[in-house]
Structure 1
């Protein structure tokens, strides 16, 4: 028996992950638990900063016309997808972090003055180089009834964030579904912990990337 793999992240990342799941020879289910929406913001004077910190391409997709005022600032991007989106929006990319924002900033000089263009729900990062943080977008929970969630039974669900774990837990319990019919693969120990107990099985990805998540999902999806 091969279980389907459910992708819970919002679009457009959802479609990209589902495609990777299918390229890996598994069956993918698109079930986004959130929708990305813009937040009103105004760009600060760019001469107050010497770089932009971007941890998600959503800041660029949702940033609107205000981004043009910041084009002179080089970008420090977490992930190749974020870097590619920055280039597509006319920014020069100075550095790409392959794992997460903390590891990328580990050797960034504290005298840097970075403007972080972020989402409303984010992990707190204390680093002397982050001079200001602006919220450009939010991930709003989608309403998912029992019928929408039904395909999760017997699946392996990919958990891309702590908040996704919490939202899945809330949605499943509200729909009266049994957690024990679902296996989880979490992007981190923290995300796995946030999902709570009672799932059929829980695994943690070896790295916070789609390929690593899908590798871990394969082990849970294919029953002997």
Structure 2
């Protein structure tokens, strides 16, 4: 099974390595390039914790992050938590679902004044009524210009891995631009929210039980098993 990975670097290489180790044939074609955004760190005394929803926030926060190192981190997933630790931050909680879970973990820890280091394109948060979440945009994912090689990579893939809502929306727009039928394309999504962003009409959609590559690959493997069994039944 040929798995197409379109997330930006360096996550693309990391996901591709895990997929190959799991036995997949992998095509790598980033649809985005991540760049740092200029920002100013606010007075850290105003906050009691950091909210991190992407490892890219840590990678691209720059020297301003030094002012915030004493604040505990609530991360959405394992990768963002690992990146925070590598940068010398203390991780208070590490989620397995979404930002809502991270906000609940912060509330459970008694943290009610959070600073969220976010991407330019980000989801809407609904914190508890007694929680303040201030946001600073520290990075942006810039779409790469589509070309024939990108279109061919989509056409030749068996499954396309979607790690973000932005990637799902970009894929949907390009498929329409190239006039490819969605019914010919299978997508594997990191979360239900990403599946929702991709919209309906795909040949098949699989959703990871948690936002980790291991869970995503397991979901794709289950799909492959079901497809193989169906082919065997058809042959008989």
| Normalised TM-score (structure 2) | 0.85
Question: 71, 74, 80: which is aligned to 1:73?
Answer: 71
Q: Which residue of 2 aligns with 1:138?
A: 140
Q: Which residue of 1 aligns with 2:117?
A: 117
SS, match of residue 157 in structure 1: strand
Q: Which residue of 1 aligns with 2:234?
A: none
Q: Which residue of 1 aligns with 2:213?
A: 210
Q: Which residue of 1 aligns with 2:61?
A: 63
Question: 158, 161, 179: which is aligned to 1:158?
Answer: 161
- Contact 2:162–2:168 under 8 Å retained in 1: yes
Q: Which has the higher helix share?
A: 2
CA distance in 1, matches of 2:86, 2:211: 24
How big is each residue's C-alpha offset from its partner over 1:70-121, in whole Å with a ceiling of 9 and x where there is no partner?
1222222222222222122222222222322211322533762111111111
Shift of 1:148: 2.1
| Normalised TM-score (structure 1) | 0.89
Q: Which residue of 1 aligns with 2:32?
A: 34
Task: Give the alignment's Cα RMSD to 1 decimal.
Answer: 2.0
- Contact 1:120–1:135 under 8 Å retained in 2: yes
Which runs of 5 or more residues in structure 2 are unaligned?
Answer: 229-236
Which runs of 5 or more residues in structure 1 are unaligned?
Answer: none
Instruction: Give the number of aligned pairs.
Output: 222
How big is each residue's C-alpha offset from its partner over 1:13-52, in whole Å with a ceiling of 9 and x where there is no partner?
1111111111111111111111111111001111111111
- Contact 2:185–2:204 under 8 Å retained in 1: yes
- Contact 1:53–1:115 under 8 Å retained in 2: yes
Return closer, same or farther for 1:111/1:19 CA change in 2, 3 Å cut-off: closer
Shift of 1:61: 0.8
